[in-house]
C-alpha cells in the first residue's frame, strides 16, 4: 500500500457564485515533492486555500494523515501539521530575522525546550537565519526573504509544507538554494507541495508533477515526464495565432 500524506477526492470549491475547483482528485505520497503547474486561473492557488483551511470545500473530502480536515479552521490545520509558505510578503518587516523565525513557533511557545530544539533544527537546515539573525526582514533581498519564510514554516516541524511559487522573482542562485532546501525537507520525510508557473523549473524542484487546467487535474506523473510533455507549452502560450473573436 502506498503511504499517502494527503488525499483530496472530488473536491469542489469556489468564491461567490463561481466554482473554481470542479471535482479535483489529488494524492500526495509521503516524502515526495509534488509540483502543481498550469496556466493562470487553473485553480492552483485555490487548491492551497482549501488545504490550509482558508476556503471551505463545498463537496468532496480532504484527508491528511487519514483524518478529514475539510472543515477545520486554518489554526487547527496549522497545528495538525500543515505549514504554508505563501507567495506574497508574509514576513514582519520591522522585526529581525531571529524574531520572524521565532514567531513561526508561536503555537508551541509554551514549551521552551521544544522551541529551543526547533530553533536548533531550523538553524541547521537554514544557516542564514543564524548568520544574519539581527537584520531586519524588511531590508532583505527576495531570495533571503524566501529562506526566512521557509525557516519560519519549519518551526512547527510540519509533515506537509505548501509552497506557493517558491522561485517567484528569485535569481538562479537563490532558486538553487531554495531547491536544495526543498530536497532536504523531503529527505527528512516531509511531504512538500509546490505551485509553480514555470513548468521546467517547478519540475526540477519536484519529484512528482501535477498539471491543472480549469479546476481539474489534467495530467500527473513523474516530474521529468511532465516537463517534456509538449502539450504544456501550448496550454501556456496558445497555438498559432487565431483571433479570439
Partner 1 sequence: MIAKLKRPRVLVPIALLAVLAVLPFALPDSKYEQSVLIVCFLFAIMASGWNLISGLAGYISLGHSVYLGIGMYTGAILGKAWGIDPMWLIPLGAIAAAVVALVIGVIVLRTKSHAFVIITIAVLLSFQLLAANLKKITGGSDGLIVPQPSWAVDLGNMPYYYIFFAILLLTIVLVAVVMNSRLGAGLVAIRNDEGKAATIGINTTVYKVTAYVLSAIPFGAAGALYGQYLGFVNPLGAFAILTSVYLVLAALIGGRGTLWGPVLGGFIVAFANEFATTSSGGVSARVLIMGLILILTVMFLPAGLLPTISSRLARRRSKGSAVTFIDQAAIAEQHDEIPIGRLIARSKADVDRATPILEVRDIVKRFGGVTAVAGVSLTVERGSITGLIGPNGSGKTTLFNCMTGTFRPDSGRVLLDGADITGDKIWTRAHEGLGRTFQITRLFKSMTVLDNLVAPLERTSARQMAAGRYSGEEVERAREVLDFMGLAQFETQNAAALSFGQQKLVELAQVLMLRPGIILLDEPASGINPTLIGKLAHVIKRLNQEGTTVLIVEHNIPLVLSLCDHVHVLAGGQILISGTPEQVRNDPQVIEAYLGPDHMLEVPHA
Partner 2 sequence: MEFVQVIAFGLLLGGVYALLASGVTLIFGVLDVVNVAQGAFLVFSALFTWQIWDMLGFEPLLLIPVNGALMFILGWAIYRGMVIRVAPQGPGMTVLLMFGVALTMEGILNLVFGNKFKSVTPPYFSSSLTIGELVLPWPQLISGVVGMAVLGLMYAYLRLSWAGRALRASAQNKDGAALVGISNVKTSAFAFGIGAATAGVGGVLLAIMYPIYPATQYDWIARLLGIVVLGGFGSIPGAIIGSMILGLTESFANTYLPQWSSLFFYGTILLILLFRPQGLMGTRTREDVA
Contact residues for partner 2 (CB under 8 A)?
74-75, 78-79, 84, 86, 88-95, 99, 102-104, 106-107, 109, 152, 155, 169
User: Among 202, 212, 215, 217, which residue sits at the site for partner 1 (rule: CB under 8 A)?
Assistant: 202
Nearer to partner 2, 15 or 106 (CB): 106
CB of 213 to partner 2, least distance (A): 24
SS3 27: strand
Partner from partner 2, partner 1, none contacting 203, C-beta within 5 to 8 A by type: partner 1
Q: Which of partner 2, partner 1, none interacts with 107 (beta carbon under 5 to 8 A by kind)?
A: partner 2
Q: Binding pattern to partner 1, positions 122-151, x when CB under 8 A? A: ----------------xxxxx-xx------
Report residue 144 as a C-alpha cell: 533571503
Given partner 2, partner 1, none, residue 41, with its beta carbon under 5 to 8 Å by kind, binds partner 1
Pick from 96, 207, 216, 220: which binds partner 1 (CB under 8 A)? 207
**Cβ distance 20 to 171 under 8 Å?**
no
Whole-angstrom Cα distance, residue 152 to residue 146?
10
Share of the chain residues as helix, strand and coil, in percent rounded to the nearest 5: 40, 25, 35
d(CA 163, CA 193): 6
The 3 state secondary structure assigned to 135-147 is CEHHHCCHHHHHH
Q: By CB under 8 A, is residue 107 in contact with partner 1?
A: no
Contact 11, 57 (CB under 8 A): yes
- Which stretch, 21-29, 56-64, 121-129, 222-230, contacts partner 1 (CB under 8 A)? 222-230
Cell 494527503 found at: 6
Give the Cβ contact number of residue 110 at 10 Å. Answer: 7
Q: Closer CB to partner 2, residue 75 or residue 189?
A: 75
* Smaller CB separation from partner 1, 153 or 164: 164
Which residue is associated with the grid cell 502539450?
231
Interatomic CA distance for residues 2 and 29, integer angstroms: 7
Residues lying near partner 1 in the complex (CB under 8 A)? 16-18, 39-41, 87, 93, 138-142, 144-145, 165, 168-171, 183, 187, 197-204, 207, 223-224, 227-228, 232-233, 236-239, 241-245
Amino acid at each position: 500500500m502506498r503511504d499517502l500524506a494527503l488525499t483530496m477526492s472530488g473536491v469542489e470549491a469556489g468564491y461567490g457564485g463561481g466554482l473554481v475547483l470542479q471535482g479535483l482528485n489529488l494524492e500526495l505520497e509521503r516524502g515526495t515533492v509534488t509540483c502543481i503547474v498550469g496556466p493562470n486561473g487553473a485553480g492552483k492557488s485555490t487548491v492551497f486555500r482549501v488545504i490550509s483551511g482558508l476556503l471551505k470545500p463545498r463537496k468532496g473530502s480532504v484527508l491528511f494523515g487519514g483524518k478529514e480536515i475539510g472543515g477545520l479552521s486554518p489554526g487547527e490545520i496549522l497545528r495538525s501539521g500543515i505549514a504554508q509558505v505563501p507567495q506574497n510578503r508574509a514576513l514582519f518587516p520591522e522585526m529581525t530575522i531571529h524574531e520572524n523565525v521565532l514567531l513561526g513557533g508561536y503555537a508551541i511557545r509554551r514549551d521552551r525546550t521544544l522551541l529551543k530544539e526547533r530553533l536548533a533544527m531550523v538553524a541547521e537546515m537554514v544557516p542564514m537565519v543564524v548568520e544574519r539573525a539581527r537584520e531586519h526582514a524588511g531590508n532583505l533581498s527576495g531570495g533571503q526573504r524566501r529562506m526566512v519564510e521557509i525557516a519560519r514554516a519549519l518551526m512547527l516541524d510540519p509533515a506537509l509544507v505548501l509552497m506557493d511559487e517558491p522561485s517567484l522573482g528569485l535569481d538562479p542562485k537563490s532558486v538553487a538554494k531554495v531547491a536544495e532546501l526543498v530536497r532536504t525537507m523531503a529527505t527528512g520525510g516531509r511531504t512538500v507541495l509546490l505551485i509553480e508557473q514555470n513548468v521546467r523549473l517547478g519540475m526540477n524542484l519536484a519529484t512528482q508533477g501535477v498539471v491543472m487546467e480549469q479546476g481539474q487535474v489534467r495530467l500527473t506523473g513523474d516530474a521529468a515526464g511532465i516537463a517534456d510533455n509538449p502539450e504544456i507549452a501550448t496550454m501556456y502560450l496558445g497555438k498559432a495565432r487565431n483571433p479570439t473573436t
